[in-house]
């Protein structure tokens, strides 16, 4: 019975999130967790609602708690969602909140397999979360040796406005692109004519 009520509150949170009512979505997710503290989806919903409210500290905390519950789960896609959620939370932050380091350490101590990391990186790329990808680049030695990102598109890397305006970031673009290509991303995904994309980037 408790799980059924928790599911109802979580579904309500999902609906409120879709309507852009993020404070109410957080409340409904929290109500879901009061009924069932082990209902993982409520942590996920609370985390994304808190991101929209710019409450990075609590967002990471929610994703971290959910990830701990999922650690032995066979649902690698759900695990990847929570790992990606932690990195999405800090993508636009200049300074990481105190809740980030424990979550970060937990992620890398868990030794997730290549399949999970492939999904994480591809989801970050789809959302244009290139700062988060740079964080992973800095820890590439900790990632599985057989990691491949064959479905990743480099197109948004060359279209993300956040890169423009600081010349020192150009080296970061190059290093990130080289790494992603080395683990399976296709150069052609920059666009039909990659050179044109590079020229547009230089002009900007």
The SS3 of residue 21 is: coil
Q: What angle do CA 127, 130, 131 make, to 5 degrees?
A: 125
Distance (Å, whole) CA 54 – CA 36: 26
Task: Decide if 37 contacts 65 (C-beta within 8 A).
Answer: no
The CA-based dihedral angle spanning residues 19, 20, 22, 25, taken in that order and rounded to the nearest 10 degrees: 10
Confidence (pLDDT) at 92: 85
Residues 6+ apart with CB under 8 A from 105: none
Tens of pLDDT, residues 128-160:
888 899 999 999 999 999 999 988 888 877 676
Domains of the chain, by residue range, sit at 1-53
Tens of pLDDT, residues 110-124:
999 999 999 999 999
Length of the chain: 204
Predicted confidence pLDDT, tens digits, the chain (204 residues): 899 999 999 999 999 999 999 999 999 999 999 999 999 999 999 999 999 999 999 999 999 999 999 876 668 889 999 999 999 999 888 889 999 999 999 999 999 999 999 999 999 988 888 889 999 999 999 999 999 998 888 887 767 645 545 555 677 878 888 899 999 998 888 877 777 777 766 666
The SS3 of residue 193 is: coil
The SS3 of residue 38 is: coil
Distance (Å, whole) CA 204 – CA 194: 16
pTM confidence score: 0.87
Evaluated on CA atoms 116, 26, 135, 198, the torsion sign reads positive
């Amino acid at each position: 019975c408790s799980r059924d009520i928790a599911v109802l509150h979580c579904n309500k949170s999902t609906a409120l999130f879709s309507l852009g009512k993020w404070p109410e979505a957080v409340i409904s997710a929290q109500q879901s967790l009061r009924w069932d503290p082990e209902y993982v989806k409520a942590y996920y919903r609370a985390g994304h609602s808190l991101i929209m409210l710019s409450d990075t500290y609590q967002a990471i905390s929610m994703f971290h708690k959910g990830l701990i519950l999922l650690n032995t789960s066979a649902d690698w896609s759900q695990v990847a969602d929570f790992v990606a959620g932690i990195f999405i939370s800090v993508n636009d932050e200049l300074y990481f909140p105190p809740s980030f380091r424990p979550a970060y350490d937990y992620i890398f101590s868990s030794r997730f397999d290549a399949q999970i990391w492939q999904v994480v990186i591809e989801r970050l790329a789809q959302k244009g979360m290139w700062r988060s990808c740079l964080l992973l680049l800095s820890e590439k030695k900790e990632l599985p040796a057989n990691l491949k990102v064959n479905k990743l598109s480099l197109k948004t890397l060359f279209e993300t406005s956040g890169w423009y305006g600081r010349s020192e970031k150009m080296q970061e673009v190059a290093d990130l692109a080289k790494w992603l290509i080395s683990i399976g991303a296709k150069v052609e995904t920059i666009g039909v004519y990659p050179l044109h994309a590079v020229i547009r980037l230089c002009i900007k």
